[in-house]
Structure 1
Amino acid sequence: MSQTTQSDLIGITDVAAKIPQFIGKLPHLVTGLKQAYLRTPNSPAGLGIAFEKAVKRNPHGYALLFEEQKYTYQQLNDWANQIGHYYLSIGAQKGDVIAVMVENRPELVASVLALAKIGVTAALVNTSQVGKVLAHSINLVNPIALIVGEECRAAVDEIRQELNLAEQRFHWFADQETRQHAATAPAHYLNLADEIITFPTFNTPTTHSVKGKDGLFYIYTSGTTGLPKAVIFTHSRWTLAYGTYGHVLDLNSDDVMYVTLPLYHATGIVVCWCGVIASSATLALRRKYSTSAFWKDVQKFNASAIGYVGELCRYLMDAPASELEHTHRVKKMIGNGMRPNIWDKFKQRFGVEEVLELYASSEGNVGFSNVFNFDNTVGFSPTPYAIVQFDKEKNEPIRDTNGWCQKVSKGEVGLLIGKITRRSPFDGYTDPEKNKSVIMSNVFKNGDAYFNTGDLVRDIGFRHAQFVDRLGDTFRWKGENVSTTEVENMLCEYPKIAEAVVYGVEIPHTNGRAGMAAITLAEQAQLNEQDLQAMLSCFKKSLPAYAIPVFLRVQKQVETTGTFKYQKNKLKEQAFDPEKTNEQILVLLPNSNAYCDMNTEIYSNIQQYQYRF
């Protein structure tokens, strides 16, 4: 949980002091805000239009760098057009959905851009997903096709028979530079690189028929009912992000943004790429984050800006000092989750001058951006919102005797809610029932409606906030949202586990919360040495690595309330401290292939940051 000091509180004099450095950004920001707010749901809008404008501004400048590959704006646009024309030729039309499961590489970027231009929604499948979760995610959005990279094909093959897709709609990219070498597709897959080669490179005729209300992406979030939810991200919301985050970053055509974040998340695909497109700058991609390669890549690509999440910052701070971390031109970074206790240290160590911390969610209607470059804040919000008093024990907002919610005072923590208006709509989930569960009505007056973010934030003044904690049945670990219900269901696939209660616990010096599960065993079952390894193997088959519990607590019986709800507060409070319970606690130490018993020595080492979780 973040800590605040009196110095973090912001007033009008603090903002006034920032005005001189803000003035230079103003023309670019005003341009962006015009595009962001002078729009209606029926206005032509979105990624395709913005990218084609960037092509006109800088056709021969580099749009994308990856490993040894380089693509100019014109080349990337030509490639996307060929993909777009191909899908139009097989009958794809605005409103259709195509699932895309490709790791961070040019084929993913070109495919997403192509689908945006023809009004087809790209369902950005998490490339870590496997088994039932993967099948659910794909079938949930009823796609007309699936684009899969060879690197993800094994996971798709495993559940192929469960997918509601025609045989000829499994489209494939080799795991290589397919513009040069298309390779040969495996059986039962159509080679997309071969199929598109004869199609024209001129802009698809559909780009300007795509409107703000049309779907751009489906981005998956952790589902509180146990499986991922698909959140619709419209072209209008993309244009809002482009006009705000994209222009606040204030890059130019010589800038290079280095991104190691997965592009199936909005921070990478929306926020970071918006900043690049807004300035016709360059996006430099790495397939997966690597601490040892980070500054080497920054040098290789001559990066001047980086995309981040809190975990990435912690990994870089933990790494041994290197000469490379000083001989670079990175002055700006954009992302979320920078912890207050390393904020200043990070800037000083790596020479970063501007941390554009932001707050947004894939499904939400409220956003903050650190436009004034204050420390320790998610920034300023121009969108209508409120921070209201919240009862953590009852897990609900506090209402007065008249039934109205109460706003917190400056410096206090409360629940962040976003007012639903025409300019700040709630686009919602694919499931209408899930939409109802996150909309609060009659908050301050009869008839009003607010989106419940499920996040606690601190009001630090002048429409600025600090992120504090996440509520509900999800927690964040390794930069990913983890659904407790999803993990609970999967843990019970192990024959000896009868019931599981999953929750997040804090490990000192880490971001977010690590997974912990209180498990009860099937009748007369006992865990032996073989189980400690076998459980992990079982979990790996159905869960991505970040969702596998770090700690297991073996209970004889799960404690519930009178309404049969799990007593998670007590479990969270005791966490993995062996001194606070007589029950067996197991821990999965880094780089281990089996759980082991927690003891006081291991617990002490965890507290002293002897392990890098």
Structure 2
Amino acid sequence: MTELNKLLLSVGAVLLGGFLFTGNRRRMLYILYKTLPRDILGSFRFLRVNILLWWWESRGFTVAEVFARLATAHPDHAAFVFEDKEWTYQQLEEFSNRVARFFRSRQGLARGDSIALIMDSRPEYVGFWLGLSKVGLVAALVNTNLRHEVLIHSIRAADCKAVIFGSELADAVNEVKDGISGLTLYRWPDVPTSVRTSLPASIDLSIEFSKISGDKLSADGTQVKCSPRDKLIYIYTSGTTGMPKAAVITNLRYMLMSCGVHSMLGLRTTDRIYDALPLYHTAGGIVGAGQALLRGITVVLRRRFSASKFWPDCVHYECTVAQYIGEICRYLLAIPPSSTDTSHSVRLMFGNGLKAQIWGPFVERFRVKQIGEFYGATEGNSNLVNIDSRVGSVGFVPRYAGALYPVALLRVDEETGEPLRGPDGFCIPCQPGEAGVFVGKINPKKAVNDFSGYVDKKASEKKIILDVFKKGDRVFNSGDILVMDDFGYFYFKDRTGDTFRWRGENVATSEVEAVISNVVGLRDAAVYGVEVPGTEGKAGMAAIYDPERSLNLNKFAEAVKHALPAYARPLFIRILTEFSITGTFKIKKRDLQLEAFDVKKINDPVYFLDKTGFYVRLTEQLYTDIVEQRVRL
């Protein structure tokens, strides 16, 4: 029996038999009545995704090959729109072919090698990694906010053999050129060379590409035959501890994430998608840009997000779909009302992190008919999609669809985040309404259940839990705490481990702690995220042990500004005169997190990073202004 036939049988079993022979029949029949339309639609769309992936994999298609077929079918159709310029499928195909020909001929590069890509969002960004993939090279999509040691680490973590950078980021590359000596630097000019006075020694790719043909690669044997399961790109994620890790994205994984959202949310080939998210992230670079590469939908790119330009851009470019992260929605609500709030044609917005508290006001003000909230870790195998605009939900799984989509919530220790096990040694699944860590069963034979992990194999192993429900099984540990209701809807609750999310970025607390410890002369410090009313994610707060009160906060602010990207800088500083430590000599964070920055409960002095870029004493009045949202963060 083929995998496709098994999938069809699983769908039938879920929809016809699952509810009738389990648990309280009356309750189950009520749940069936309430969820059957959703489950039928979701199962049909899920089946369609699986059939498409099966079809592509059985024929050995890669992302580049699917895109090339689209370019042949409609060469003059706009793949991307950027700053009022259209990039047709043919133009992007030719650009990527030039990339492939150039790097195929470079000595010292072999199939499987990686090249760091550091560049602002624009069509060439996609063209670079797409072209590299055609000759078996892997682009490492480096976060453009990173600087100094963290940037060097990210380049080295993926074992990059070269760096491609946009000239707009020349200063950042210049700062680390000594730390990446030995790597060839390639520059793509975004501004005239005369504007920049500190361009590092590099090869100007615009000059090189002018000498190269953009014709199909098969004509001269340049193209390397790649597999759907070959590595395509690396996307960085903070994980639970430490420096950024390079997550492996295969061709099939890229196809699953982009086509999964396309199918589950009912995107149309006639849509125009507004993508103002960074292309080095999964949301912007895969879920967004992938709609152009794999499904023939025009995607409008923006170099950087702007709240004031969001709806005017959607009107100007006639977009029917737009992407978000939760923070974007809050920014849009914060700007003064304008005529473009409702004169746009956006019928669907999809993304992740839209909190239930602002979901209703957002939809009401901007009159967006559908919100497609989704959930999923970049490196993970467990994803969810909200297809019916259920407020606050990150998606659903039919209550008895374990055979169709094997994900679960496991009970965990609140202090350690580790899964709890019963007397039989196996993990304990959560009941509806009970929060637990979200996991997905690993099955390398199925694209939707595979786990490629990180470049760092040891880091990959840490994300796997063994012997979960039976001896020998393996699941991917998302590290996220979710809760499921009776109807199979999932809701995001928190993250386990030492990571929090702020400004759309994951912040690894151990990384920030290391920087702060150096800045304050190796004093003990703890970094954690704290909730601030009216904001998405958690703001960074650092507790620093300084019993003599000798810390110079002005110098500290300058040093942190130099060493950390803006989203990772602590907004609140608490000066400790005493503290409790764990068995591994770390400051206990739990009580600190509970007290947060509430100066009405804390005797220690607390400071706030205001708009001047320096820390000021957090008074009760300032605290109240922040909590009541009179001070914007």
Query: Please, what TM-score do these two structures have when normalized by structure 2?
Result: 0.88
Could you say which residue in structure 2 is the equivalent of 1:595?
A: 615
Conserved? CA contact 2:322–2:348, under 8 Å: yes
Distance 1:247 1:323 in 2: 32
The one-letter amino acid paired with 1:71 is W
Task: Give per-residue Cα distances to partners, 1:539-591, cap 9 Å, x unaligned.
Answer: 111111000000011112342124424311100001101122211111112x2
- Alignment RMSD, CA only? 2.5
Structure 1's unaligned 5+ residue stretches are 1-9
Could you say which residue in structure 2 is the equivalent of 1:468?
A: 493
Conserved? CA contact 2:275–2:284, under 8 Å: yes
Quick one: which of 95, 113, 117 aligns to 2:134?
117
Structure 1 residue 277, shift from structure 2 partner: 3.5
Q: What SS class does the counterpart of residue 233 from structure 1 fall into?
A: strand
Larger displacement relative to structure 2 (443-452 or 532-541): 532-541
Could you say which residue in structure 1 is the equivalent of 2:512?
A: 487
Could you say which residue in structure 2 is the equivalent of 1:194?
A: 207
The one-letter amino acid paired with 1:400 is G
Distance 1:604 1:36 in 2: 53
Distance 2:532 2:628 in 1: 10
Quick one: which of 471, 475, 499 aligns to 1:446?
471
Task: Give per-residue Cα distances to partners, 1:411-457, cap 9 Å, x unaligned.
Answer: 22111111111221221112222222221111111111111111011
Q: Find out whether 1:361 has 2:377 as its counterpart.
A: yes
Conserved? CA contact 1:251–1:276, under 8 Å: no
Conserved? CA contact 2:139–2:234, under 8 Å: yes
Structure 1 residue 16, shift from structure 2 partner: 3.2
Larger displacement relative to structure 2 (292-301 or 50-59): 50-59
Structure 1 residue 183, shift from structure 2 partner: 11
CA pair 249-223 structure 1, distance change in 2 beyond 3 A: closer
Structure 2's unaligned 5+ residue stretches are 1-29, 398-403
- Sequence identity (%): 35
The one-letter amino acid paired with 1:406 is I
Q: Find out whether 1:174 has 2:198 as its counterpart.
A: no
Q: Find out whether 1:254 has 2:270 as its counterpart.
A: yes
Q: What SS class does the counterpart of residue 230 from structure 1 fall into?
A: strand
Structure 1 residue 184, shift from structure 2 partner: 11
Could you say which residue in structure 1 is the equivalent of 2:316?
A: 300
Q: Find out whether 1:203 has 2:203 as its counterpart.
A: no
Q: Find out whether 1:542 has 2:555 as its counterpart.
A: no
The one-letter amino acid paired with 1:13 is Y
Could you say which residue in structure 1 is the equivalent of 2:625?
A: 605
Q: Find out whether 1:413 has 2:435 as its counterpart.
A: yes
Conserved? CA contact 1:251–1:279, under 8 Å: no
Distance 1:38 1:464 in 2: 30
Q: What SS class does the counterpart of residue 519 from structure 2 fall into?
A: coil
Larger displacement relative to structure 2 (73-82 or 273-282): 273-282
Distance 1:293 1:352 in 2: 17
Could you say which residue in structure 1 is the equivalent of 2:115?
A: 98
Distance 1:592 1:186 in 2: 30
Q: What SS class does the counterpart of residue 217 from structure 2 fall into?
A: coil
Could you say which residue in structure 2 is the equivalent of 1:159?
A: 176
Distance 2:325 2:127 in 1: 24
Distance 2:338 2:123 in 1: 30
Q: What SS class does the counterpart of residue 347 from structure 1 fall into?
A: helix
The one-letter amino acid paired with 2:204 is N
Distance 1:298 1:177 in 2: 30
Distance 1:46 1:213 in 2: 8
Quick one: which of 371, 375, 381 aligns to 2:391?
375
Larger displacement relative to structure 2 (151-160 or 29-38): 29-38
Structure 1 residue 58, shift from structure 2 partner: 2.5
CA pair 58-33 structure 1, distance change in 2 beyond 3 A: farther
Conserved? CA contact 1:560–1:567, under 8 Å: yes
CA pair 187-472 structure 1, distance change in 2 beyond 3 A: closer
Larger displacement relative to structure 2 (500-509 or 65-74): 65-74
Q: Find out whether 1:107 has 2:124 as its counterpart.
A: yes
Could you say which residue in structure 2 is the equivalent of 1:7?
A: none
Larger displacement relative to structure 2 (474-483 or 192-201): 192-201
Conserved? CA contact 1:45–1:208, under 8 Å: no
State how 1:345-356 maps to structure 2 within 5 Å: 345-356=361-372
Q: Find out whether 1:581 has 2:602 as its counterpart.
A: yes
Structure 1 residue 224, shift from structure 2 partner: 4.3
Distance 2:202 2:251 in 1: 30
Conserved? CA contact 2:115–2:160, under 8 Å: yes
Larger displacement relative to structure 2 (504-513 or 412-421): 412-421
Q: What SS class does the counterpart of residue 35 from structure 2 fall into?
A: helix
Quick one: which of 318, 326, 337 aligns to 1:321?
337
Quick one: which of 552, 559, 562 aligns to 2:580?
559
Q: Find out whether 1:11 has 2:49 as its counterpart.
A: no
CA pair 270-513 structure 1, distance change in 2 beyond 3 A: same
Could you say which residue in structure 1 is the equivalent of 2:417?
A: 395
Could you say which residue in structure 1 is the equivalent of 2:81?
A: 65
CA pair 200-31 structure 1, distance change in 2 beyond 3 A: farther
Distance 2:165 2:326 in 1: 29
Conserved? CA contact 2:520–2:556, under 8 Å: no
Conserved? CA contact 1:553–1:583, under 8 Å: yes
Q: What SS class does the counterpart of residue 397 from structure 1 fall into?
A: coil
Conserved? CA contact 1:35–1:240, under 8 Å: no
Conserved? CA contact 1:174–1:185, under 8 Å: no
Distance 2:59 2:631 in 1: 52
Could you say which residue in structure 1 is the equivalent of 2:72?
A: 56
Structure 1 residue 365, shift from structure 2 partner: 1.2
Structure 1 residue 462, shift from structure 2 partner: 5.2
Conserved? CA contact 2:259–2:295, under 8 Å: no
Conserved? CA contact 1:37–1:240, under 8 Å: no
Structure 1 residue 408, shift from structure 2 partner: 1.3
Q: What SS class does the counterpart of residue 163 from structure 1 fall into?
A: coil
Distance 1:177 1:72 in 2: 25
Q: What SS class does the counterpart of residue 51 from structure 1 fall into?
A: helix
Task: Give per-residue Cα distances to partners, 1:77-115, cap 9 Å, x unaligned.
Answer: 111111111111214443111100001122212212212
Structure 1 residue 311, shift from structure 2 partner: 0.5
CA pair 495-416 structure 1, distance change in 2 beyond 3 A: closer
Could you say which residue in structure 2 is the equivalent of 1:149?
A: 166
Structure 1 residue 36, shift from structure 2 partner: 2.3
Could you say which residue in structure 2 is the equivalent of 1:267?
A: 283
Could you say which residue in structure 2 is the equivalent of 1:4?
A: none
Distance 2:130 2:411 in 1: 42
Larger displacement relative to structure 2 (364-373 or 125-134): 364-373
Distance 1:541 1:459 in 2: 42
Distance 1:276 1:334 in 2: 16
State the aligned residue count: 591
